[in-house]
Amino acid sequence: MGFSDADLQAIWLTLRLAGLVTILLLLIGTPIAWWLARTRSRWKGPVGAVVALPLVLPPTVLGFYLLLAMGPNGPVGQLTQALGIGLLPFTFWGLVVASVFYSMPFVVQPIQNAIEALGERPLEVAATLRAGPWDRFFSVVLPLARPGFLTAAILGFAHTVGEFGVVLMIGGNIPGATRVVSVQIYDHVEAMEYGQAHWLAASMVVFSFLVLLALYTLNPRQRTF
């Protein structure tokens, strides 16, 4: 049987979404992780908790609030309309924004752990050698915390690929824009097309296994959670 054109379109869309979200999350998540790892502010607890929320919230809760917030009467929706972007639900970029929230803890926490594990010492030494803040980050933190960044990137990517509940709530199932693999599998199952569902679902299982295998092979000693 193999993949239909619609399946291939969903796979390609999913990879694009996950790739883009991973890049954005590394850019956004790194400063947050850095701050969380090093701050003594009393806001550390609340901010850490907000970042971790998607770990415990059912995706449908997150999706429902995102739908309300990004809708025409929600604060985000009014902002995007005022900026002339229009509304985010039912668009590819809406999924990107939602996924950034949804996969945030999977990127922030490994990086935060890695930076915390470094301790103060290497940074202090670098500072005495007159390395500026950027230099310290790129020459000291990045190489030493590399396994943490790698873990973050792989987990962020894989988790976005596996996302379902949020996409279902705000996606609107538009081919080529919001119909990702997990939704396509759901559609196949609901339509009693079990053969097609098997093809996609089995590919997801293989993909997830390979991702985790890569993670554990590349980072044998790194704790992922």
Partner 1 sequence: MKTPGNLVTLFALALVSTAAGAETVSVAVAANFTGPMNEIAEAFGEDTGHQAKTSFGSSGKFYAQIRNGAPFEVFLSADAEKPAQLVEDGLTVPDTTFTYALGSLVLWSADAELIQDGPRVLGRNQFRKLAIANPKLAPYGAAAIEVLEKLDVDQLVTPKLVQGENIAQTYQFVSTGNAELGFVALSQVIQDGEIGSGSGWVVPADMHAPIRQDAVILARGAENPAAHALMDYLQGERAQSIIRAYGYGLSK
**What does the binding site for partner 1 look like in residue numbers (CB under 8 A)?**
67-68, 70-73, 86-87, 89-90, 168-170, 172-174, 183, 186-187, 189-192
Terminal-residue alpha carbon distance, the chain: 39
Q: How far is the CB of 178 from partner 1 (least distance, A)?
A: 8
Q: How far is the CB of 213 from partner 1 (least distance, A)?
A: 30
Kindly tell me which of 25 and 67 has the beta carbon lying closer to partner 1: 67
Tokens of 141: 């933190």
Q: How far is the CB of 199 from partner 1 (least distance, A)?
A: 17
Q: Are 163 and 59 a contacting pair, CB within 8 Å?
A: yes
The DSSP-derived string for 191-208 is: TT-HHHHHHHHHHHHHHH
**Alpha-carbon distances, residue 102 vs 49, 94, 108, 162 (angstroms):** 14, 12, 12, 11
Contacts of 154 (CB under 8 A, 6+ apart): 211, 214, 215
DSSP assigned state of 145: T
Q: How far is the CB of 169 from partner 1 (least distance, A)?
A: 8
Q: How far is the CB of 67 from partner 1 (least distance, A)?
A: 6
